[in-house]
């Protein structure tokens, strides 16, 4: 039996998955699909049913943030995202000033959509640009060119979206350090308040990975990618961006509150096919097929509140596990170390009842000796508090740092 501890649920971050794309990029391994637009109306109806299910099941909790991800949420027509937000307002407690983010592609951004988004309370756009090099955009299978991407960003800013972010990628096949520097300089000239900058990962089964394996694309060089990352840190530091998470930079006050919720290992609910959730005591994910998701939600609608068992109450849940104390600790370490603030010693003790040194003393000492992590003390606070943080070297080798904690936990 899965033990959902509702009494611990005070606030909740909500993620809505939109799996539709006009075309699927060659590097993408997300649960997204092209060519199934005929399912959109049925899918949105199913999503509204799942929204109602969880709003009722969780006693209408207060939402801290809402995030529309995908896929391509901006691919939806006018009024469709608005309809989903109206459903949320009816079944969750949604305050007027919460952060609501929509992921968007440059080719979808129009004055009509920007106007609709503002009226619906959407106050943050995350625009997927990836690169401002037309040659590399073709390699990635993107539908826009560099100039149309710049035009979309300018239109968004001029329309009054102060909180706009762009996604960029480095470490691409055939990308030189000079190529990356050119994209970075142009992107930074926009003066945006937030940038998410990721290293390309070659995911198993994607067309790009297959092309690299066949020798039709150059395999990315990890040493060159590390140089690109160091250049990125240097360039954004010069412009006083806060490097608040390994892959994210923001001007003060524009950090992504939704993603910070993840990195602090707080509770979140994911709706739609393939979406993941973490509620008090349990972690689970939905089935991936949009068609199966629609069918199960239609069959599920008359039994929304009749069962105490989560998998019986919501038949789109595919995998579920109770969260042990050790798992919660490791997740908190894994996510928290990604933040520039690191892990607060006092908050860790309040949450888990022991200090970091008690549990991880040798691991911490060894990692400090290797220059991967450090202790920082907040001397301005009324009560001095220490924070365990990754060093610049540790950010590049973050997976190695986390592996050390996991090894200790298993023994």
At residue 209, the pLDDT reads 95
Residue 219 to residue 199: CA distance in whole angstroms:
13
Tokens 């894994």 belong to which residue? 334
Burial of 308 (0-12, 13-18, 19+ CB in 10 A): exposed
Helical (H) or strand (E) element with 300: helix 290-300
Q: Domain ends where: 234, 263, 292? A: 263
Say whether pLDDT at 2 is over 70: no
CATH code for position 258: 3.20.20.70
Which tens digits make up the pLDDT trace of 198-223? 999 999 999 999 999 999 999 999 99
Q: Domain ends where: 242, 263, 284? A: 263
Q: Are 146 and 29 in contact (CB under 8 A)?
A: no
Residue 303 included in any domain: no
- Determine the average pLDDT of the residues in 225-234: 96
Q: Domain ends where: 241, 263, 285? A: 263
Domain containing residue 213: 6-263
User: Do 42 and 141 lie in a common domain?
Assistant: yes
At residue 406, the pLDDT reads 87
Residue 406, both tokens? 């996991």
The closest of 81, 181, 67, 76 to 124, measured between CA atoms, is 67
Q: Are 316 and 274 in contact (CB under 8 A)?
A: no
Residue 35, both tokens? 């060519």
Residue 193 included in any domain: yes
User: Do 237 and 336 lie in a common domain?
Assistant: no
Q: What percent of the chain has pLDDT over 70?
A: 95
Determine if residue 265 is left, alpha or beta; phi over 0 gives left, psi from -120 to 50 gives alpha, anything else beta: left
- Determine the average pLDDT of the residues in 95-115: 96
Residue 287 included in any domain: no
Helical (H) or strand (E) element with 294: helix 290-300
pTM: 0.94
Residues in the chain: 411
Say whether pLDDT at 305 is over 80: no
Helical (H) or strand (E) element with 177: helix 177-188
Which tens digits make up the pLDDT trace of 47-77? 999 999 999 889 999 999 999 999 999 999 9
Say whether pLDDT at 306 is over 50: no
Largest pairwise CA distance in the chain: 60
- Determine the average pLDDT of the residues in 98-108: 97
User: Do 244 and 341 lie in a common domain?
Assistant: no
Which tens digits make up the pLDDT trace of 313-362? 678 999 999 999 899 999 999 999 999 999 999 999 999 999 999 989 99
DSSP 384: -
The closest of 68, 60, 118 to 91, measured between CA atoms, is 60
Which tens digits make up the pLDDT trace of 110-127? 999 999 999 999 999 999
Which tens digits make up the pLDDT trace of 13-60? 999 999 999 999 999 999 999 999 999 999 999 999 999 999 988 999
User: Do 247 and 356 lie in a common domain?
Assistant: no
Helical (H) or strand (E) element with 269: strand 268-271
Q: What is the number of domains present in the chain? A: 2
- Say if strands 194-199 and 248-250 run parallel, antiparallel, or are unpaired: antiparallel
Residue 318 included in any domain: no
Residue 300 included in any domain: no
At residue 315, the pLDDT reads 86
Burial of 408 (0-12, 13-18, 19+ CB in 10 A): middle
Residue 199 included in any domain: yes
Tokens 């904690």 belong to which residue? 405
Residue 398 to residue 401: CA distance in whole angstroms:
5
User: Do 50 and 184 lie in a common domain?
Assistant: yes
User: Do 136 and 250 lie in a common domain?
Assistant: yes
CATH code for position 346: 1.10.10.10
């Amino acid at each position: 039996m899965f033990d959902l501890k509702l009494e611990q649920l005070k606030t909740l971050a909500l993620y809505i998955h939109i799996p539709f794309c006009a075309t699927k990029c060659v590097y993408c391994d997300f649960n997204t699909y092209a060519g199934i637009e005929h399912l959109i109306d049925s899918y949105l109806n199913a999503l509204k049913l799942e929204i109602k299910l969880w709003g009722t099941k969780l006693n209408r909790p207060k939402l801290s943030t809402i995030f529309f991800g995908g896929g391509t949420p901006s691919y939806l027509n006018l009024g469709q995202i608005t309809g989903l937000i109206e459903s949320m307002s009816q079944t969750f407690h949604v305050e007027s000033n919460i952060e609501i983010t929509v992921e968007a592609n440059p080719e979808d951004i129009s004055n009509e959509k920007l106007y609709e988004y503002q009226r619906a309370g959407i106050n943050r756009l995350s625009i997927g640009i990836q690169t401002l090099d037309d040659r590399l955009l073709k390699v990635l299978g993107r539908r826009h060119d560099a100039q149309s991407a710049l035009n979309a960003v300018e239109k968004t800013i001029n329309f009054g979206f102060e909180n706009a972010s762009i996604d960029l990628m480095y470490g691409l096949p055939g990308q030189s350090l000079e190529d990356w520097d050119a994209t970075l300089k142009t992107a930074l000239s926009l003066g945006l308040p937030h940038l998410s900058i990721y290293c390309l990962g070659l995911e198993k089964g994607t067309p790009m990975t297959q092309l690299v394996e066949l020798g039709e694309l150059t395999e990315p060089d990890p040493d060159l990618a590390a140089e690109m990352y160091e250049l990125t840190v240097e360039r954004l530091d010069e412009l006083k961006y806060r490097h608040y998470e390994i892959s994210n930079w923001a001007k003060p006050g524009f950090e992504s509150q939704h993603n910070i919720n993840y990195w602090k290992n707080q509770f979140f609910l994911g709706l739609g096919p393939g979406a993941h959730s973490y509620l008090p005591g349990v972690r689970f994910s939905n089935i991936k097929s949009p068609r199966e998701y629609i069918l199960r939600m239609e069959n599920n609608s008359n039994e929304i509140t009749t069962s105490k068992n989560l998998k019986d109450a919501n038949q789109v849940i595919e995998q579920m596990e109770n969260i042990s104390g050790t798992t919660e600790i490791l997740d908190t370490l894994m996510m928290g170390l990604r933040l520039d603030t690191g892990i607060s010693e006092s908050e860790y003790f309040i949450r888990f009842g022991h200090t970091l040194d008690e549990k991880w003393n040798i691991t911490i000492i060894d990692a400090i000796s290797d220059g991967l992590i450090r202790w920082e003390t907040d001397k301005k606070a009324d009560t001095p508090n220490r924070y365990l943080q990754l060093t610049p070297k540790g950010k590049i080798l973050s997976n190695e740092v986390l592996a050390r904690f996991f090894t200790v936990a298993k023994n």
